[in-house]
Amino acid sequence: MTTLLSRKNFIQSAIVACATLCVGVPSVLAQTSPASIGGNTLHLTQEWDKTFPKSNKVDHQKVSFKNRYGITLAADLYLPKNRGNQRLAALVVGGPFGAVKEQSSGLYAQTMAERGFVTLAFDPSYTGESGGAPRHVASPDINTEDFSAAVDFVGLHASVDRERIGIIGVCGWGGIALNAVAADKRVKAVVASTMYDMSRVMSKGYNDSVTPEQRAQTLEQLGQQRWKDAESGSPAMFPMFNVLKGGEPQFMVDYADYYKSKQRGFHPRAINSNGSWTITSGLSFMNAPLMTHIAEISPRPILLIHGEKAHSRYFAEAAYAAAAEPKELMIIKGASHIDLYDQVDKIPFDKMADFFGKNLK
């Protein structure tokens, strides 16, 4: 366990680099999450508990739906108040990785609803108010399915034109969004904002710094961890995430500034604010590259948005290079990775509204 939790160990450093994998203390989770730990009986919070102010330009509803694996997902549905009886274009929003719908994805969803779209921000399987057990597990397959299940749900809504559905993925869910859209031809356009390629960072480390020998060692360690989890009957967790001890790189300081600040992005159900992932959660990402089929999104358009100063900028640049036309890479001058979580003066909402307005016709 000591070796696994070392900051020099690949899987931990990769996960730290994408500000995701961290430990949930069961007692804390039980006190703060209204979702059933067992999975499918959800008790959704009805009061406004977002990290951003409620808009008077949209109607908000708490909703739930099942994905293809039978896991019940919790979501926030935002509808423009002046929608009338017309069927509107819809956007499904997910991310960041380790966040909840009360944070960035909800801000994106509500703001885009103000611009005339029906929007749905959801909690992924095993996290937030959504179902699934054990808690705090991620999966490239199941989380990709979560996007398509959200498309299922929103496409059946009476206010939605199911032929005009787009997706927005933020941070680690940017890469998952691109993977989902490559397979789900119902989605007509996609935006990935301040994206991470989770499979790349988990399999190759930050800036592809992991050697084949280090990868093999990590897989060996994770195999041994599986024995320990099997013997104990429950998965072990990483230590609490975003607890600064001094000497961290600036992007880690930025993550803590967002996720730990009650004046900014802290939410008790968010893994990145108040917990962590299981140690073995990243295992499946190491062998399932998310960008394999990105060119198959074409001829549907891709808009990649990233901060000029973001440590993660190379993920968007690589995705742009691998994608086929039509595609666009928009670099926000002076912005960091975290700025595009909640800084409304830097997030290009007007650009996104124009992009979806032109491509969801």
- What pLDDT shows up at residue 24? 29
CB atoms within 10 A of CB 333: 8
Beta bridge partners of 58: 80
Per the CB < 8 A criterion, the answer to whether 194 and 171 are in contact is yes
End-to-end CA, the chain: 53
CB burial of 88-113 (b: ≥16 within 10 Å; e: otherwise) equals bbbbbbbbbbbbbbbbbbbbbbbbbb
Radius of gyration of the chain (CA): 19
Q: Which of 60, 3, 9 is nearest to 205 (CA)?
A: 9
Residue 350 gets the label, from left (phi > 0), alpha (psi -120 to 50) or beta, of alpha
In sequence order, the β-bridge partners of residue 9 are none
CA dist list (Å): 339 to 142, 152, 277, 347 = 28, 31, 24, 8
The owner of tokens 């699934």 is 132
How far apart (Å, rounded) are the C-alpha atoms in residues 101 and 269?
10
- DSSP letter, residue 300: S
CA angle 116, 122, 124 (to 5 degrees): 155
**Structural contact between residues 52 and 349, judged by C-beta atoms closer than 8 angstroms:** no
Q: What is the pLDDT of residue 14?
A: 46
Query: How would you list the strands of the sheet with 58-66, edge to edge?
Result: 58-66, 72-80, 118-122, 88-94, 160-170, 187-193, 302-307, 327-332
Domains in the chain and their CATH numbers? Answer: 41-209+281-359 (3.40.50.1820)
**DSSP code for 103:** S
Rounded Cα gap, residues 215 and 209, in angstroms: 10
Q: Are 52 and 288 in contact (CB under 8 A)?
A: no
Q: Which residues contact 26 (CB under 8 A, 6 or more apart)?
A: none
pLDDT at 40: 62
> Quick one: pLDDT at residue 43?
86
Tokens of 50: 């977002």
pLDDT, tens digit only, all 361 positions of the chain: 333 333 334 334 444 443 333 322 222 232 233 333 344 679 899 999 999 999 999 999 999 999 999 999 999 999 999 898 999 999 999 999 999 999 999 999 999 999 999 999 999 999 999 999 999 999 999 999 999 999 999 999 999 999 999 999 999 999 999 999 999 999 999 999 999 999 999 999 999 999 999 999 999 999 999 999 999 999 999 999 999 999 999 999 999 999 999 999 999 999 999 999 999 999 999 999 999 999 999 999 999 999 999 999 999 999 999 999 999 999 999 999 999 999 999 999 999 999 999 999 9
